[in-house]
Structure 1
Amino acid sequence: MSATTSSDPSLHLSFAAARAENRAALIPYVTAGHPRTTDTAAVLDALAEEGADVIELGVPFSDPLADGPTIQRSSFEAIAQGVDVRWTLDQLADFRARHRTSVVLFTYLNPVLRHGVDRFLADAHAAGAQGVLLTDLPVGADPELEGKFAASPLDLIRLIAPTTTPARMREIAAAARGFLYYVSRTGVTGAQVELQEGLAAEVETLRAATSVPVAVGFGISTPEQAATVARVADGVVVGSALVETLRTGGVDEGRRFVRALRHAVDGARRP
């Protein structure tokens, strides 16, 4: 059973359900069409069945500059199999017929522009998405475009980096919908051995500046690291480590990894 039980899934309800259980939300990332296009339905089902609170579904892009080699490779391999925005949304619609787990589409601006912004917003909502994360649309970069997202039913998820200045942080936090995604390190996505020092204090600073939950991602690669982040953040995002597990071990190994992550997050109860 998926973690969100409402007949109308939303990011707010997903985080509220986790908060009611005194735990962080688990947010796994996968690339649509990876490892193979025939795997995507089973991968999404496994994430929902193993207790993902929110799923980040990556739309493959040819120039994923915010991503490290693992997710870059997954995007290139998916594109080689013909995966695009339309195919991804079709997979999401198929998933939505079976599960209520909230889904955020993780992508870049170019695929959205190529699909057509208005069309993308309508199609993504119709397919069952609750939010969109555009890595290359910073707050204030294109007010007209941002206004279209703000007027849509989809939450536009905002990124904040460790290098973000306090004034800029407040500006981003004020525009946040759904949740804030705090990047736990500088650089691109990818598994890492150690988490950044001072993470708890940084998350608390963000919480003081926004009314939406704060999720932490980039570099979380083990259940132990997920538990550490879960003790201080409202959500834990795991991407590259899961993508690599799926590539090398297939859906079954990916399922076991998500199960271990969920067990670790559940065990990191707040005091």
Structure 2
Amino acid sequence: MSTHESSVSRAIKQANVERKGALIGYLPVGFPDLGTSVEAAIALAQNGADVIELGVPYSDPVMDGAVIQEATKTALADGFKLTHVFEAVRRVREAVDVPVLIMTYWNPVMQYGVERFARDLAAAGGAGLITPDITPDSAAQWIAVSEQFGLDRVFLAAPSSTDARLRLVSEATTGFVYTVSTMGITGERAELDKAARTLTARLREAGAPLACVGIGISTPEQVSAALDYADGAIVGTAFVRALRDGGVPALAEVVRHIASGTQGAPTDPAVSAR
């Protein structure tokens, strides 16, 4: 469906050829302040993240766990503006050659203007959007605009999704399908849900380009376990906590530690062929 070669899918495929799979790291823009959030995102890339996910602070973050909610509240209180997203992306991309996706609820994009948002994101060097609260069947405008500007659109799949819904998500997604490992909000889980493995297998059958597992991954062991069946592992809470508690140096150390879970040979020979 998409006419552009995605920098995100390229980075994930390359990680699957060179190592066990990709690490995708999430941080909110503007936490603890704009400058530090840019430094932190650069540290993600320099210490083992293959793709960066920058979150847009939002007043009603229904999907986020306590640590991320607290960070986004801090960013909003510090005077976060949507234009800071494009500034952050531009500054990160000037420093590192790692794709940067924006994770955002749909309301801020609508308020800003869908086409204007896409244009400004593309101009800043951004790779696309992860949109947790819109589904492909309600995203006709975004699908058209993302094609126009060559941006990835990452939709979410959950264990509760029907086969028909998974096919729809797989067809409409570019980059990767964001595979929600457990029902509920983001945060750390003692064990990764078996549902993630089952859901990833169902997405493969539905024709998903690439599947990356998020929600609940916070250790190298959990990254490694996720990469036994998925193309990438998404980590957020553990990185936000490290930044909150110890600043950029502590974050860099935690990223290196968690990224060690991507080491090792590809487990699925089919992965490198996709």
The answer to whether the Cα contact below 8 Å between 1:227 and 1:268 also exists between their aligned partners in 2 is no
Asked if residue 115 in structure 1 is aligned to residue 112 in structure 2, the reply is: yes
The answer to whether the Cα contact below 8 Å between 2:239 and 2:254 also exists between their aligned partners in 1 is yes
Residue in 1 aligned with 2:271?
Answer: none
Offset at residue 198 of structure 1 (A) = 4.7
Residue in 2 aligned with 1:5?
Answer: none
Equivalenced residues, count: 264
Asked if residue 156 in structure 1 is aligned to residue 140 in structure 2, the reply is: no
- CA-to-partner distance for each residue in 1:33-87, whole Å, 9 max, x for gaps? 1123331222012111112110000111111111122111111110111122201
SS at match of 2:36: helix
Q: For the residues of structure 2 that align with 1:267 and 1:254, how far apart are their CA atoms?
A: 23
Residue in 2 aligned with 1:167?
Answer: 164
Q: For the residues of structure 2 that align with 1:68 and 1:200, how far apart are their CA atoms?
A: 22
The answer to whether the Cα contact below 8 Å between 1:9 and 1:101 also exists between their aligned partners in 2 is no
Q: For the residues of structure 2 that align with 1:26 and 1:127, how far apart are their CA atoms?
A: 23
The counterpart of 1:32, out of the listed 29, 33, 36, is 29
Asked if residue 19 in structure 1 is aligned to residue 16 in structure 2, the reply is: yes
Q: For the residues of structure 2 that align with 1:269 and 1:255, how far apart are their CA atoms?
A: 25
Moved more, 61-70 or 198-207: 198-207
> Structure 2: which amino acid aligns with 1:185?
T
SS at match of 2:20: coil
- CA-to-partner distance for each residue in 1:3-23, whole Å, 9 max, x for gaps? xxxxx9811220121122142
Q: 1:12 to 1:142 in 2, by over 3 A?
A: closer
> Structure 2: which amino acid aligns with 1:114?
Q
Residue in 2 aligned with 1:200?
Answer: 197
Q: For the residues of structure 2 that align with 1:211 and 1:237, how far apart are their CA atoms?
A: 17
Structure 1 alignment gaps of length 5 or more: 1-7
> Structure 2: which amino acid aligns with 1:93?
R
The counterpart of 2:177, out of the listed 173, 177, 180, is 180
Asked if residue 246 in structure 1 is aligned to residue 248 in structure 2, the reply is: no
Residue in 2 aligned with 1:86?
Answer: 83
TM-score (ref. length: structure 1)? 0.92
Residue in 2 aligned with 1:44?
Answer: 41
The counterpart of 1:147, out of the listed 144, 148, 166, is 144
> Structure 1: which amino acid aligns with 2:210?
P
Residue in 1 aligned with 2:129?
Answer: 132
Q: For the residues of structure 2 that align with 1:87 and 1:15, how far apart are their CA atoms?
A: 27
Q: 1:113 to 1:198 in 2, by over 3 A?
A: closer
SS at match of 1:97: helix
TM-score (ref. length: structure 2)? 0.91
Q: For the residues of structure 2 that align with 1:192 and 1:236, how far apart are their CA atoms?
A: 14
Moved more, 208-217 or 183-192: 208-217
SS at match of 2:100: strand
The answer to whether the Cα contact below 8 Å between 1:231 and 1:268 also exists between their aligned partners in 2 is no
Residue in 2 aligned with 1:4?
Answer: none
| Identity between Structure 1 and Structure 2 (%) | 37
The counterpart of 1:237, out of the listed 230, 234, 237, is 234
SS at match of 2:48: coil
Offset at residue 150 of structure 1 (A) = 3.5
The answer to whether the Cα contact below 8 Å between 1:230 and 1:268 also exists between their aligned partners in 2 is no
Q: For the residues of structure 2 that align with 1:71 and 1:214, how far apart are their CA atoms?
A: 23
Q: List structure 1 runs of 4+ shifted beyond 2 angstroms.
A: 35-38, 142-152, 198-202
> Structure 1: which amino acid aligns with 2:108?
P
CA RMSD across the alignment: 1.7
- CA-to-partner distance for each residue in 1:179-220, whole Å, 9 max, x for gaps? 101000000111111111253333122122225110000111
Q: 1:199 to 1:114 in 2, by over 3 A?
A: closer
Q: For the residues of structure 1 that align with 2:94 and 2:212, how far apart are their CA atoms?
A: 27
Residue in 2 aligned with 1:66?
Answer: 63
Offset at residue 237 of structure 1 (A) = 0.1
The answer to whether the Cα contact below 8 Å between 2:155 and 2:169 also exists between their aligned partners in 1 is yes
